Structure formats: structure tokens, C-alpha cells
């Protein structure tokens, strides 16, 4: 009989760990506190499950130890992920580098993982809340509401605090803390940003291409750029959303948590150089002097956004374009190319896709994901202080870390 391995958490990382450990000959049991496994997986990729990305770079993964994620992913890279899912029956299709199941259903990815757990005869105990993990001599004892479970190794893959309705309630952090691990404060990431200005209600619902630069006021009082991105921006009644906002949001969360001020500069004409914008304004001003400023903006940017930009530039939407002087056009250009907004908060964990922060990776061996604090315990997935950008990278981290943890948990140390 193989080593007894308990996997705590039935998300993407936990299911992968259980499969890999069972394939390696271990006697595996999967413990999940929700009524079914993989709830969070169903919401990924807007229900289509962008399960990895062909474009893989170390900088797409964030961690307090910059090289930690890549050391893990290198052992189970994107190519192995594609091969793994192809073997389970997933035909992948690609959109701009993102890989999805050909069915365009996240449920397909969950179903093939569940089918493989069944094929491997891995018991899956749902509604099973883990209360603690104890080290007893040469083995482990996992305490649950359904009684204690002995084990030779355990994989802690209990998720973060993001999307708690799917099971990620942060309870895994307490289990890790009980094992001696330091927890870097988890904060919402890949999340919307709330802003101070009152004119967002006028712009709510607007979607537009934009560039965003997130700036943080440092302790010396100097504003410095922390992150930037470009893509489809969404304006809401409380602030800003969309992929480029998600990509920079972790830096806003960290700065706000440390009581530093945060602002964003938004470029609503990211495909033009400043010189091209200046020339375009001059041409339009010469060609349409009899239009009102609001009419002059027609076809340039969304009407609701245009009215706010004009007012911020000190121009009346009803005044004639021919009456605007050079300083007025320069002010308008400034608003279009660098619209400043003060960020006051992120949205809550309920809206966040993932968290930044988690178990300090300095206390985990990247070669095996074995805890440096408690012998026999491995950690995988979102519980660790690793978060990826949008585009399938957080799921790639789940598959990679789950595979590495599961494979090593199944093998006795030194074997």
C-alpha cells in the first residue's frame, strides 16, 4: 500500500495534487469543506475556463520571493498542463494566447478532473471542515468535523480569501498558522478600484480602450508609478474596472493597506502619441469651429465620458469649438491623455478573483513545496503568497503547484 496522503481543499490545485499523488501510487483522500469540489473553477474565464496561456514569463507571477513561482512552474510548465488535460479529454482552443476547452465550458474542465478522481478511486469527502493538522511521531493527524484522519503526508490547498462564496474563506491560513507559518496579509487582487470623484455616476457603463498608470505616494511625499497596463477599461458608478484595472489592482491594495495614497492616470487615446493627439485636435478645431464642444467630441470618445472630460478641462459642452483658445485645447488634451483619479479602496474579497499575500514562500521549499515548518506538509495553490496576472496564469499556478506538491507528497523523503 502506498503512502497515505490527505489533500485539504478540492479546488484546482487540490484536485491536481490528489490526481498526481494517486497516479504515483499513494493512497489519497480528498477533503473539501463545501458540498462539492471545484466551485470556484466554474466561474473562471467568465464560465469558459481560460485554463492556461501560451505566453509564459516569470514576471507574470507575483510573489515576495520573485523567483519562487517560476521554480515551481518550471517543473510542471504550460506544455505539461496542455498534455495533462489532453489526456483527460480536453480539446484546447486558443484565443490570443489564452487556452480554453473547445466546449467553452468551465464545467468540462471540472468534469474531467472529477472523472479522473473517480477512475483513480480517490475518496472525496465533501462537507468536511478541517480543524487542524498535528504532527505525531513520524506521521500526521488531520482533525476534522468527521473525525481524525491519519496520514503520512498532507497537501494544504485550501485557497485564499477571494470569492468566499465558492469556499475560499481564509480558513486555510489559520491551518497554516497553526503549523508555524507566517501569513503575509492577504489582500484583494484582480479586483475593481473605487475612486473619490463624484462624476463617475455620469460615466457609469462606459467601456473604452485605455491605458492606466497606477501611482503611489511614497513616504518621502513623491508620487511614483507602481504598475501600468492597457486594454478595455470599464467605468462604473463607483470607479474603474476591466482587465487593465485588475492587472494593477494588487499594487493599489498593498499601498492602501500601508496607508499610502494612490492615484491612477488614465489615457483614453492609448493608440496615439501625444504629438498625434495634438495634431488631431488642431485639425478638428480648424474643420469644425461651428460645432459645440459636445458635438466636436462626437465620434472621438463616448458621449458620457466626453461631457466629463470637457467640464474637467474647464470647457462648456455648449460653447462653440471656434471660441476655445489654445490653453483650452491643451487642457482638454491633458484630460484625454492623463485623466487623474484618486483611488480610495479596492472592492471586497467577494469581488476579487484572487488574493495577493498568503503563506510566506520563504518557509516553503520550491523544489517540492514541502513546508519548512512542519515535516510531511506540502502547500499548493492560492494559499501561498503567489498571484498571477489575468489570462490563465492563476490557474497555471494551481496546476503547477498542485502537481509538484502531489507528486512529492506521494514519495517518501529520500526515496
pLDDT at 138: 86
pLDDT at 167: 87
Its CATH architecture, for the domain 4-186+356-409, is 3-Layer(bba) Sandwich (3.50)
CA distance 369 to 382: 13
Q: pLDDT per residue over 53-98, tens digit each?
A: 999 999 999 999 999 999 999 999 999 999 999 999 999 999 999 9
- Mean pLDDT in the chain? 96
CATH class for the region spanning 192-346: mainly alpha
| DSSP3 helix / strand / coil % (the chain, rounded to 5) | 35, 30, 35
pLDDT above 70 coverage of the chain, percent:
99
pLDDT at 287: 96
For the chain, residues with pLDDT lower than 70 are 1, 414-415
Domain coordinates in residue numbering, the chain: 4-186+356-409, 192-346
Q: Is 206 helix (H, G, I), strand (E, B) or coil?
A: coil
Decide: residue 125, CB within 10 A, 0-12 exposed, 13-18 middle, 19+ buried.
middle
Nearest to 13 by CA among 383, 361, 398: 398
Decide: residue 23, CB within 10 A, 0-12 exposed, 13-18 middle, 19+ buried.
middle
pLDDT at 48: 95
pLDDT at 206: 98
| CATH topology match: 4-186+356-409 vs 192-346 | no
pLDDT at 413: 79
Q: pLDDT per residue over 154-182, tens digit each?
A: 999 999 999 998 988 899 999 999 999 99
pLDDT at 1: 64
Amino acid at each position: 500500500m502506498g503512502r497515505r496522503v490527505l489533500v485539504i481543499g478540492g479546488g484546482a490545485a487540490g484536485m491536481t495534487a490528489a490526481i498526481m499523488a494517486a497516479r504515483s501510487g499513494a493512497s489519497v483522500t480528498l477533503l473539501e469543506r463545501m458540498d462539492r469540489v471545484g466551485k470556484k473553477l466554474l466561474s473562471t474565464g467568465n464560465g469558459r475556463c481560460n485554463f492556461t496561456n501560451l505566453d509564459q514569463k516569470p514576471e507574470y507571477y507575483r510573489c515576495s520571493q520573485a523567483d519562487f513561482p517560476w521554480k515551481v512552474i518550471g517543473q510542471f510548465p504550460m506544455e505539461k498542463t496542455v498534455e495533462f488535460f489532453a489526456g483527460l479529454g480536453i480539446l484546447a482552443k486558443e484565443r490570443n494566447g489564452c487556452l480554453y476547452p473547445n466546449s467553452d465550458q468551465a464545467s468540462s474542465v471540472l468534469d474531467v478532473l472529477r472523472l479522473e478522481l473517480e477512475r483513480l478511486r480517490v475518496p472525496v469527502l465533501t462537507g468536511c471542515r478541517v480543524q487542524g493538522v498535528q504532527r505525531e511521531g513520524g506521521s500526521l493527524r488531520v482533525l476534522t468535523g468527521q473525525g481524525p484522519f491519519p496520514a503520512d503526508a498532507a497537501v494544504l490547498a485550501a485557497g485564499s480569501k477571494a470569492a468566499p462564496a465558492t469556499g475560499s474563506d481564509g480558513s486555510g491560513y489559520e491551518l497554516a498558522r497553526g503549523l508555524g507559518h507566517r501569513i503575509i496579509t492577504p489582500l484583494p487582487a484582480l479586483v475593481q478600484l473605487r475612486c473619490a470623484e463624484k462624476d463617475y455616476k455620469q460615466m457609469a457603463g462606459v467601456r473604452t480602450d485605455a491605458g492606466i498608470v497606477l501611482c503611489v505616494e511614497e513616504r518621502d511625499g513623491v508620487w511614483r508609478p507602481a504598475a501600468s497596463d492597457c486594454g478595455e477599461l470599464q467605468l462604473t458608478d463607483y470607479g474603474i474596472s476591466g482587465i487593465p484595472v485588475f492587472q494593477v489592482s494588487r499594487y493599489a491594495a498593498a499601498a492602501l493597506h500601508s496607508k499610502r495614497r494612490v492615484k491612477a492616470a488614465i489615457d483614453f487615446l492609448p493608440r496615439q502619441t501625444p504629438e498625434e493627439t495634438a495634431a488631431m485636435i488642431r485639425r478638428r478645431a480648424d474643420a469644425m469651429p461651428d460645432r459645440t464642444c459636445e458635438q466636436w467630441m462626437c465620434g472621438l470618445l463616448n458621449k458620457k465620458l466626453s461631457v466629463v472630460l470637457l467640464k474637467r478641462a474647464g470647457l462648456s459642452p455648449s460653447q462653440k469649438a471656434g471660441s476655445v483658445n489654445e490653453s483650452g485645447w491643451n487642457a482638454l488634451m491633458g484630460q484625454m491623455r492623463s485623466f487623474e483619479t484618486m483611488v480610495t479602496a479596492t472592492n471586497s474579497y467577494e469581488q476579487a478573483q484572487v488574493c495577493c499575500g498568503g503563506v510566506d514562500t520563504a518557509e516553503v521549499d520550491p523544489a517540492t513545496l514541502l513546508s519548512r515548518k512542519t515535516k510531511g506538509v506540502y502547500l499548493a495553490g492560492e494559499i501561498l503568497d503567489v498571484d498571477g496576472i489575468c489570462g490563465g496564469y492563476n490557474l497555471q499556478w494551481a496546476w503547477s503547484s498542485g502537481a509538484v506538491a502531489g507528486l512529492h507528497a506521494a514519495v517518501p523523503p529520500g526515496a
